[in-house]
């Protein structure tokens, strides 16, 4: 989820009667109530459970869709458990149906059933939960459905009740968009996401004032289905005569001003508001530094922030309006500007659980500064094993599909639990889609069924364009099935072997970027994969790579590459970090190690890591400091990134977030990938560290890092130039006779920085 939402309808925000159409009149009824914060809300309720043959319709007002193609409908409702209603056996239902009708304008108030397309049957996860005193408490359910692509100007939603006892507490309708952003000195306008889950919308950037397009490298970005900007390509550069540091600032100043303070204008706004009603100014906040905390915000309230800066040159103009709705328990917002002018606004929700990151832009001194809004805390992965009843876990995270919606076409592979087939899934009111269907073979044990469905319980928690998407499960029929989006090109290792040498480096790096983005998402959710390898990445027809193969730790046992190690358990040795092999320390940092191996597999078109070396030899070689060399034609920058992923000390390895950033930079500067000079900056490079490349001799450098006592050790071993020092590995440093671990680390970290600076700032290729 992200704050890139544009809300089209929010029934909770409406202060007056909703006045939706209800038919017949004794069916759905509009009732005023209070929510948990005692805010008045409108609800619709129906409870005709005693009478058979109910068919009660409720239709919203017309919803204009704007530019949206893919619309999200979020329903919050409570549903009575039929068992709790005496004397209703046979008539009472526990579901209702959601429909929509597309039209170009408002139609009359009559309701014709046959004009509606069904979106889904909505059921409660659980109508009741047990209270502390054993009493049964009504639970608020939240369900989200997606409709689209939509082609008309607007639509109606309709709710059909067939005899349940329902209170529809809130209906929210929204779409997602990528908000305008400045990247690489180019502005990218607000962009509505594409119509498909996996589609990216390519957007051309326009250079900011005083900047111009780099020759043959016009700026482009891609807006993802989640409203996130991805894969920047090309760039603008400051025109001659303007400050070339503009890149970091987002504009090309002729002069750099000093920031004196920020002024933050804060308005509380009323949602879905009368036209000429003014926003209420809530407060203005002034901050001497580049960060400020805004306290005492009301929960569940929309606020608009606008920021301007006061510098030596006077006040700038206010930037664009940045709208944020506080969470239910929100108490404070932090507005800050980290380093130079990236300003971060975070709304702190005390017990909030979301997520939301997006970028918009403000003007300061008539120039643009980047603003990022981030809600701290993130959705976390829940281990299905924590559920006593594995069936509940599956239904918590995966949709139960009706077997009649699935058409199996052919067998495409063999899975651990049964055949993997391809086929079609046709859900009511939706277009049919290609799917892969994993089946559970007949005669399974209860444990096998549990382990099989475990993958669905895990996959169902993820929603990211680079993680394989679960459509649903069939557990109530036979065979038991897991239905997944279809990935036309199968596993990445086989796909690369089949197309040996056929891709450009940029295409390969694009694949790696996708895998890293998927892994960043998984690690942000707290999920450790443990078996990341090219064979567990799937590729679709657009060459989009997605992480797959989810299971609990023991499921690794099914990987044919996994072998028993002396520490117990089966481990795919060639892909696994030393600490995970030695003492089963599996973390996102060990996933980063495996990611480095995947990079190597990709750049070598599916070569087997460590070729025909035995597993024992691999473990020994790694322990002695050996690392896989650069595959043929692999740019040194990429190999350097692999080496960073294979640092022995897991704290030294880059995070997935940094890896995505590094790969984006490479994609943005494709020319540098073509030459033997790498562009990869070690994630350890910190802009505030001195420029090591400016030192003229090894002695001068050692002096700067206060290690001059080792000058003779370097000379004796023949390291006379900084270039030769930059190639040193930790083993080389140790072999100089430097025994203090602290000094070894200090020297090595300085060498790594120097190496990165040489690669990045001066384009000096260093082969390690
Ligand atoms: P698995 O049990 O996940 O290892 O799947 C066995 C084989 O089935 C894989 O190696 C793939 O070739 C194929 N397969 C699995 N999932 C999919 C999918 N979503 N789309 C296409 N092929 C798949």
Q: Is the pLDDT assigned to residue 380 strictly greater than 50?
A: yes
Substitution site in 415, 471, 606 for ligand 1 pocket (most atoms within 8 Å of beta carbon): 415
Q: Distance, CA 450 to ligand 1 centroid (Å)? A: 19
Query: Structure tokens of 656?
Result: 């997935």
Residue 334 binned pLDDT confidence (cut-offs 50, 70, 90)? very low
Which atom of ligand 1 is least distant from the CA of 488?
Answer: 21
Secondary structure of residue 755 in the 3-state scheme: helix
Q: Is the pLDDT of residue 286 over 90?
A: no
Instruction: Assign 322 to helix, strand or coil.
Output: strand
SS3 state of residue 713: helix
Assess whether pLDDT exceeds 50 at residue 522: yes
The CA distance from 479 to 590, in Å, is: 36
Task: Return the DSSP state at 499.
Answer: T
Which residues neighbour 200 within 8 Å (Cβ) at sequence distance 6 or greater? Answer: 194, 222, 223, 224, 225, 230, 231, 465
Task: Using alpha carbons, list the distances in angstroms from residue 747 to 389, 685, 713, 715, 716.
Answer: 54, 14, 13, 15, 17
> Within 10 A of 558 (CB to CB), how many other CB atoms are there?
15
Name, in order, each residue with C-beta under 8 angstroms of 218's C-beta and a sequence gap of 6 or more.
204, 205, 234
Contact 170, 75 (CB under 8 A): yes
| Confidence at residue 341, expressed as pLDDT on a 0 to 100 scale | 33
Distance (Å, whole) CA 544 – CA 208: 31
Binding-site sequence positions for ATP: 438
pLDDT recorded at residue 366:
28
Please tell me the residue having the least CA distance from ligand 1 atom 14.
490
Look at residue 291 in the predicted model and tell me its pLDDT. 58
Q: How confident is the model at residue 679 (pLDDT cuts 50, 70, 90)?
A: very low
The alpha carbon of 457 and the centre of ligand 1 are apart by a number of angstroms equal to: 17
pLDDT in tens, 181-218: 778 888 888 888 887 766 778 899 999 888 899 888 88
Binding residues: 438
- Structure confidence by residue, pLDDT tens digits, 82-135: 877 777 767 888 899 999 999 999 988 777 888 899 999 998 775 454 444 444
pLDDT (tens digit per residue) in 256-269 = 556 667 677 777 76
Q: What is the dihedral of CA 489, 491, 493, 496, to 10 degrees?
A: 10
- For residue 305, name the pLDDT band (cuts at 50, 70, 90): confident
Cα(156)–Cα(61) distance, rounded to whole angstroms? 6
**pLDDT (tens digit, 9 = 90+) per residue, 474-514?**
998 788 999 999 999 999 999 999 998 888 888 899 999 99
For ligand 1, pick from 490, 545, 562 the residue to mutate: most ligand atoms within 8 Å of CB. Answer: 490
Q: Which residue has the higher pLDDT, 720 or 565?
A: 720
Which string of b and e fits 439-452 if b means at least 16 CB within 10 Å? Answer: bbeeebeeebbbbb
For a pLDDT cut of 70, what percent of the chain falls above it?
75
What is d(CA 103, CA 581) in angstroms, rounded to the nearest whole number? 60
Query: How many angstroms is it from 437 CA to the middle of ligand 1?
Result: 9
pLDDT tens for each residue of 578-602: 999 998 888 999 999 999 999 999 9
Alpha-carbon distance values, 29 to 47, 124, 298, 339 (Å)? 10, 20, 31, 55
Radius of gyration of the chain (CA): 29
What is the rounded CA–CA span in Å between residue 549 and residue 546? Answer: 10
Closest atom of ligand 1 relative to the 486 alpha carbon: 20
Return left, alpha or beta for 483; rule: phi > 0 is left, psi -120 to 50 is alpha, else beta. Answer: beta
Ligand 1 centre to CA of 139 (Å) is: 38
Q: Which residues pair with 491 in a beta bridge?
A: 538
Q: Where are the beta strands (DSSP E) in 554-666?
A: 563-564, 570-571
Neighbours of 409 (CB within 10 A): 12
Encoding tokens for residue 87? Answer: 């004397």
What does residue 164 show for φ and ψ, rounded to 5 degrees? -105, 175
Ligand 1 atom with minimal separation from the 416 CA = 2
Query: Pocket residues for ligand 1 (CB within 6 Å)?
Result: 412-413, 415-416, 420, 436, 468, 484, 486-487, 490-491, 538, 549
For residue 491, report the distance from its CA to the centre of ligand 1, in Å. Answer: 7
Res 159 pLDDT > 90:
yes
What gap in Å lies between CA 463 and CA 72, rounded to an integer?
14
**Which residue lies with its CA nearest to atom 22 of ligand 1?**
490
Lowest-confidence segment of 216-225, 306-315, 655-664 by average pLDDT: 306-315
Catalytic residue among 120, 210, 493, 531: 531
Q: What is the DSSP letter of 214?
A: B
- Say if residues 337 and 344 touch (Cβ distance below 8 Å): yes
Question: Higher confidence at residue 117 or residue 563?
Answer: 117
Phi/psi-derived region of residue 324, left when phi > 0, alpha when psi is between -120 and 50, beta in every other case: beta
Check: pTM over 0.95? Answer yes or no: no
Q: What's the whole-number average pLDDT of the chain?
A: 78
Residue nearest to atom 13 of ligand 1 (CA): 413
In angstroms, the CA 193 to CA 183 distance is 18
Would you call 712 a catalytic residue per the annotation?
Answer: no
- Residue 641: predicted pLDDT: 95
């Amino acid at each position: 989820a992200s704050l890139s939402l544009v809300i089209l309808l929010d029934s909770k925000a409406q202060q007056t009667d909703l006045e939706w159409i209800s038919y017949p009149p004794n069916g759905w009824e509009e009732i005023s109530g209070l929510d948990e914060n005692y805010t008045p809300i409108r609800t619709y309720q129906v409870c005709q459970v005693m009478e058979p043959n109910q068919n009660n319709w409720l239709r919203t007002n017309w919803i204009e869709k704007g530019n949206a193609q893919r619309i999200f409908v979020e329903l919050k409702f409570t549903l009575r458990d039929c068992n709790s209603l005496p004397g209703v056996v046979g008539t009472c239902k526990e579901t209702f149906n959601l429909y929509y009708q597309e039209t170009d304008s408002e139609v009359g108030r009559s309701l014709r059933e046959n004009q509606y397309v069904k979106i889904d049957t909505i059921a409660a996860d659980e109508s009741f939960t047990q209270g502390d005193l054993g009493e049964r408490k009504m639970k608020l359910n939240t369900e989200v459905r997606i409709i689209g692509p939509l082609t008309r100007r607007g639509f109606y939603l309709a709710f059909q009740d067939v005899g349940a006892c329902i209170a529809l507490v809130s209906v929210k309708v929204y779409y997602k968009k990528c908000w305008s952003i400045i990247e690489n000195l180019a502005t990218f306008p607000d962009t509505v996401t594409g119509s498909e889950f996996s589609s990216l919308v390519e957007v051309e950037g326009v250079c900011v004032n005083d900047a111009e397009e780099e020759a043959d490298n016009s700026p482009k970005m891609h807006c993802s289905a989640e409203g996130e900007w991805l894969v920047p390509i090309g760039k603008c550069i400051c025109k001659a005569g303007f400050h070339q540091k503009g890149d970091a600032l987002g504009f090309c100043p002729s002069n750099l001003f000093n920031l004196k303070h920020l002024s933050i204008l804060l308005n509380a706004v009323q949602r879905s508001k009368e036209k000429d009603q003014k926003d209420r100014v809530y407060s203005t906040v002034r901050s001497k530094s580049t960060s400020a905390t805004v306290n005492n915000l009301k929960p569940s309230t929309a606020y608009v922030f606008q920021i301007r800066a006061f510098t030596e040159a006077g006040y700038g103009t206010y930037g664009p309006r940045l709208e944020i709705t506080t969470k239910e328990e929100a108490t404070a917002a932090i507005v800050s500007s980290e380093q130079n002018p990236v300003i971060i606004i975070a709304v702190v929700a005390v017990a909030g659980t979301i997520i939301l990151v997006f970028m918009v832009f403000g003007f300061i001194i008539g120039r643009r500064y980047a603003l990022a809004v981030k809600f701290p805390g993130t959705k976390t992965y829940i281990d299905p094993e924590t559920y006593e009843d594995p069936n509940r876990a599956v239904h918590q995270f995966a949709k139960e599909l009706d077997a009649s919606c699935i058409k199996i076409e052919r067998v495409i592979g063999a899975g651990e639990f049964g055949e993997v087939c391809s086929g079609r899934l046709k859900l009511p009111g939706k277009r049919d889609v290609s799917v892969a269907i994993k089946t559970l073979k007949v005669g399974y044990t209860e444990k096998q069924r549990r382990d099989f469905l475990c993958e669905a319980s895990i996959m169902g928690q993820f929603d990211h364009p680079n993680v394989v998407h679960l459509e649903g499960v069939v557990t109530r029929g036979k065979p038991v099935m897991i239905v997944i989006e279809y990935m036309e090109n199968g596993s990445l290792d086989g796909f690369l072997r089949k197309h040996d040498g056929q891709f450009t480096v940029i295409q390969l790096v694009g694949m790696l970027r996708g895998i890293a983005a998927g892994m960043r998402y998984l690690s942000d959710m707290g999920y450790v994969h443990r078996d990341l390898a090219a064979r567990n990445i799937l590729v679709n027809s657009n060459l989009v790579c997605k992480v797959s193969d989810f299971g609990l730790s023991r499921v690794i046992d099914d990987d044919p590459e996994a072998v028993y190690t002396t520490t117990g358990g089966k481990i795919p040795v060639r892909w696994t970090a030393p600490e995970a092999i030695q003492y089963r320390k599996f973390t996102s940092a060990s996933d980063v190690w495996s990611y480095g191996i995947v990079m190597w597999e990709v750049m070598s078109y599916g070569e087997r890591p460590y070729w025909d070396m035995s597993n024992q030899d691999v473990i020994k070689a790694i322990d002695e400091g050996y690392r896989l060399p650069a595959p043929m034609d692999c740019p040194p920058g990429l190999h350097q990134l692999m080496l960073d992923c294979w640092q022995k000390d897991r704290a030294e390895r880059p995070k997935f977030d940094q890896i995505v950033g590094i790969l984006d930079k490479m994609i943005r500067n494709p020319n540098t990938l073509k030459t033997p000079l790498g562009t990869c900056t070690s994630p350890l490079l910190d802009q505030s560290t001195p420029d090591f490349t400016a030192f003229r001799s090894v002695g001068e450098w050692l002096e700067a890092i206060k290690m001059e006592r080792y000058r003779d050790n370097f000379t004796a071993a023949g390291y006379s130039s900084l270039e030769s020092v930059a190639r040193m590995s930790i083993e080389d440093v140790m072999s100089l006779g430097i025994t203090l671990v602290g000094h070894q680390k200090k020297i090595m970290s300085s060498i790594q920085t120097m190496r990165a600076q040489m690669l990045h700032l001066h384009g000096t290729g260093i082969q390690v």
